[in-house]
Homo-oligomer: A and B are copies of this chain.
Amino acid sequence: MGTVSKALELLDYFTRSRPLIGLSDLARLADLNKATCFRLLTELAENGFVEQIGTGREYRLGPTVLRLAALREAQVPTREAAMPVLQALAQQTGETAHLSMLMADSLRTLAFAYSAAHVTKVTMEDAETLPFHATSSGLAVLAFQSDAFRSTILSQPFPQLTTNTETNPMALRARLTEVRGLGYAESRGGFQTEVHSMAVPLFDALGRCSGALAVAAPASRMNEPQRRLIRYALMQAGTEITAIWGGSLPSDIATLWRLAA
């Protein structure tokens, strides 16, 4: 791994629940020598990707990321354009909705919306990576990738995150085939016990599946009528976001989703 990647990966340690990180902490987290970490942070800071709060204090993400994001959104409206749909989805289903995107071979949460319908809800405090094998979003996205990409992912070992996590590559392949046939994916406690979720794939302007839209709920509220409601709402919202992105649904998906309506 090159130096540049090491520096960029430092940025990944900043999350909603850990927005401020000190030099020594970060060096430990990233398993880097403190001097190395310092030099990388200094370079990031010189370019405004991180900044220090007071004097000799912790680091946090800097203003440059805002500027870059504004440019990206100006060219490819993704997040802002999808937010209203995401919020409507949360409200409509009464559960937590979230949008994830494929970024450099890993699936990351890009945005989420809560519903006020219940006091208990699935919270999304971290901008953490969503494992392909254990989340409905991961399955939805993986199902619609190229064979090559899918095989690369499936050739790596999968951690057993809960007692319900499917880790067998053969069984996962079968589930992916099933997902392609249904047009949506489901996870029942595979990522976190007590959390069930459903997800649909999203497609960009080139017809590639570049993300997923999901609704996650406490297992206790996931009965059959609720599943039907969420499935329907997801397909509607998925169609909408794909359209906003200027993407087009593969014709078989379009058909599946129309039939489900």
Q: Which residues of A contact B (CB under 8 A)?
A: 2-5, 7-9, 11, 14-16, 19-20, 39-40, 43-49, 53-54, 60-76, 78-79, 101-105, 108-111, 127, 206
Contacts and interface: CB of A to CB of B under 8 A. Distances in A.
A93 to B, nearest CB: 22
Contacts of A46: 5, 104-105
B63 A65 contact: no
A43 B5 CA distance: 6
Contacts of A47: 5, 8-9, 103-104
7 closest A-B pairs by beta carbon, nearest first, are: A69-B69, A48-B103, A48-B104, A65-B68, A4-B43, A61-B72, A19-B75
A54 B204 CA distance: 12
B75 A110 contact: no
Contacts of A11: 68
24 contacts: A3-B3, A4-B4, A4-B7, A4-B43, A8-B47, A8-B49, A9-B47, A11-B68, A14-B68, A46-B104, A46-B105, A47-B103, A53-B206, A54-B206, A60-B72, A60-B75, A60-B76, A61-B71, A61-B72, A63-B72, A64-B108, A66-B73, A69-B69, A70-B127
B104 A79 contact: no
For the complex formed by this chain, how many copies does it contain in all? 2
A103 B67 contact: yes
A140 B66 CA distance: 22
Given A65-B69, A65-B71, A66-B79, 9 more contacts: A2-B43, A4-B7, A7-B7, A47-B104, A54-B206, A60-B75, A61-B71, A65-B68, A66-B110
Given A4-B40, A48-B104, A104-B48, A14 B69 contact: no
Contact of A127 (B40, B67, B108): B67
Contacts of A69: 65-66, 68-70
A9 B103 CA distance: 20
Contacts of A44: 4, 8
A45 B5 CA distance: 10
A9 to B, nearest CB: 7
A123 to B, nearest CB: 13
Nearest to A65: B68
Contacts of A19: 71, 74-75
Contacts of A39: 2
Nearest to A206: B54
A84 to B, nearest CB: 15
